[in-house]
Structure 1
Amino acid sequence: MIYLDLFIGFLEVGFFSFGGAYAAIPFIKDVVTAHNWLDEEMLTYMIAISESTPGPIMVNMATYVGSEKGGLIGAAIATAAVVLPAFFIILLIMVAMNKFLKNRYVKAALSGLKPCIMGIILVTGVLMILKNCGLLFNGRADILTIVLTCSIAFIYFGSRLVMKKGMNPIMLICLSAFVGIVVYAF
Structure 2
Amino acid sequence: YWLFGMAILAAIQTTVNFNYFITLGVCGIAFMFIERKLYWIGLFVILLELVGYGIYIGFNRAIPSPSSLGVGVAKAEPGSGPDPGHIFALGLVAGSLSFGGAYVTIPFLQAEAVTIGQWMAVSTFLDSIAIGNIVPSPLVMFSTFIGFQAGYLWGGYSIGFGFLGGLLIAVGMLFPCFLFTILGHNLLEKLVRNKFLAAFFDGISGTVVGIIAITAINLLNSSITSTTGLADVSQQDLPIILAKNSSIAAVLYILTLAALYGYKKPYLSLWLVIFGAIAGQFLFVNN
Which TM-score band (shorter chain)? 0.3 to 0.5
> Scaled by the length of structure 2, what TM-score is found?
0.32
* Higher Cα radius of gyration: 1
> Scaled by the length of structure 1, what TM-score is found?
0.45
Which structure shows the higher helix fraction?
Answer: 1
